[in-house]
Structure 1
Amino acid sequence: MSIETTGLREAKKRETRQLISDQATRLFMTQGFESTTIAEIATAARVATKTVTNYFPRKEDMAFDHQDAFVASLAETVSARPAGESVLGALRRTFEAGVAAQDPVIGFAGPDFSRMIHESPTLSACLRTLHDRREEALAAALAEATGSSPDDITARTTAALLAAVHRVMFRRIQELTLAGRTNDEIAAVVADEAADAFGLLEPALGHYAVG
């Protein structure tokens, strides 16, 4: 099989996966996550039911189809920070850029998607798990950055504190979205509140793991 043929097959798989995810999310938002069946998703995407489950073993993965990027986001910020920048500084800078860009990864998911999560016990639980996994990935990145063991308590505690700020701000963005505020209004509020939240950590973590 040629490289070109392999490339076309992989592109087709990505397209099919995205189509299924898009149709599933549309149905989740209009009729609720728990009320939507795999068969309905397959019909909307014009694929077989087995195709849906082959691409997405868990139904909630169709709603959180970019979860790997979410889980890795804080750890990648730590790994990519420039020389001389602290971990706190890097995460604060990246979050501020996310607010300015109204990035869905930090919570700017729109009212329909935010409501879908809020109204679904399954998706709400899944989101909490993704936050936990992101904290664990951050702890591993901090341990590596400081040359510590994977179970280093300082790295794990620091990760918990930094991840907590991101978790609280994510929830805050969702709250304001569900309250009917526009993204511009939310960004203005969150920019000030995030500055206060990150500022609370500055005395303890301002010089931690400077690159």
Structure 2
Amino acid sequence: METAGTAGTPARTAARTAARPGLRERKKRRTRDALLRAALELFTTQGYERTTVDEIAEAVDVSQRTFFRYFPGKEEAAFAVQEMVEAHFVDSLRARPPGEAPLEALRRSLLEGWDTISDAVGSVVPVELYLRMFRVIESTPVLLAEHLRRSAQTEERIARLLAEREGLDVDTDPRPRLAVAVFGSVMRVTSCQWSTREDAGAEAMRELTAAYLDQVGPALTGNWRTSPRR
């Protein structure tokens, strides 16, 4: 607790200054965010393959060279927000109670991620723009192929996190990878279904995700001929 005699000490002032990004860092962050927003706006309005780096840079009134300081190419800009969302999910999963069953931890982390998605991307791009970009990824073959490759890497990361939570060796116990494979397949089916709907907003995606995840148990272990359809 600060007292009147300590609140303004040089040491505390220096600590606060160190905790805040400097002016140069803030400017760099603003430039990167502006380039990212411009890229996604162009990708979603005129198409990924028809958009050039020059157009993105021009939209922010910077040089092509400046763009390449922040992104190696268009592809990295296209997936930058998706990476933020995935990092948000992994952080949520890591924070789940240790006694929670693996699939339940995955389910709750994902649904909570949708509930707080604005915390993950809202300071950089509107959630609506992220969702539009997700549909572009789904409908652009070159981006979809890269998305699947990146998803495989993310699933391996999640499997290792689950194994760590459960005290398992992911390379000798198949369960973490199997659980994540099932979970990832559900997410893939959900994404495909969501992208064809007219009400393709964040709430629609969350509801569809919850409904599909709730069917994992019955679909894997139930008798489909006698189980009630929903």
What TM-score does the superposition give when structure 1 sets the normalisation length?
0.76
The structure-2 alpha-carbon separation of the partners of 1:185 and 1:29, relative to structure 1 and needing over 3 Å to count, comes to: closer
Computed over aligned residues only, the root mean square deviation of the Cα atoms, in angstroms, reads: 3.2
Which of 30, 42, 46 matches 1:15? Answer: 30
| Higher-Rg member (1/2) | 2
Q: Deviations over 1:151-193 (max 9, x none)?
A: 23332222222222223223322232xxx12535555444333
Q: Which runs of 5+ in 2 are unaligned?
A: 1-16, 121-126, 223-230
Per-residue CA deviations over 1:57-100 (Å, capped at 9, x if unaligned) read 0211212222333443554343211143112112222333455x
2:192 & 2:91 partners in 1: Cα distance?
A: 22
Q: Structure 1 188/145 Cα, relative in aligned 2: closer, same or farther at 3 Å?
A: closer
The yes-or-no answer on 1:56 pairing with 2:76 is: no
What are the within-5 Å matches in structure 2 for residues 71-86 of structure 1?
Answer: 71-86=86-101
Write the letter of the residue equivalent to 1:91.
L
Asked whether 1:42 is paired with 2:62, we answer no
Name 2:5's counterpart in structure 1.
Answer: none
- Assess if the C-alpha contact under 8 Å between 2:93 and 2:106 holds in 1: yes
Unpaired runs of at least 5, structure 1? 204-211
Percent identical pairs in the alignment equals 32
Q: Which has the higher helix share?
A: 1
Change in 2 beyond 3 A, CA 1:166/1:73: farther
Q: Which moved more, 1:44-53 or 1:121-130?
A: 121-130
Shift of 1:3: 4.6
For the residue of structure 2 that corresponds to 1:44, the secondary structure is helix
Higher deviation after alignment, 70-79 or 155-164: 70-79
**Could you tell me whether the CA contact under 8 Å between 1:88 and 1:202 is conserved in 2?**
no
Aligned-residue offset at 1:136: 0.9
Name 2:226's counterpart in structure 1: none
Q: Deviations over 1:29-75 (max 9, x none)?
A: 12111111111111111111011112110211212222333443554
Moved more, 188-197 or 121-130: 188-197
Task: Specify whether residues 168 and 116 from structure 1 end up closer, same or farther in structure 2 by C-alpha distance, changes over 3 A only.
Answer: same
Name the SS of the counterpart of 1:65 in structure 2: helix
Q: Kindly indicate whether the alpha-carbon contact (under 8 Å) linking 2:93 and 2:109 is maintained by their aligned counterparts in 1.
A: no
Letter in 2 for 1:82: P
Counterparts in 2 of 1:61 and 1:87: CA distance versus 1, 3 Å = same
Pick closer, same or farther for the CA change 1:3–1:90 going to 2, 3 Å.
closer
Which fold has the larger relative contact order, with Cα–Cα distance below 8 Å and residues 6 or more apart in sequence?
Answer: 1
Query: Which of 196, 202, 205 is the matching residue for 2:215?
Result: 196
SS at 1:64 equivalent: helix
Alignment of 1:57-136 (within 5 A): 57-98=72-113, 101=115, 103=117, 112-136=132-156
Aligned length: 197
Residue in structure 2 matched with residue 30 of structure 1 by the alignment: 45
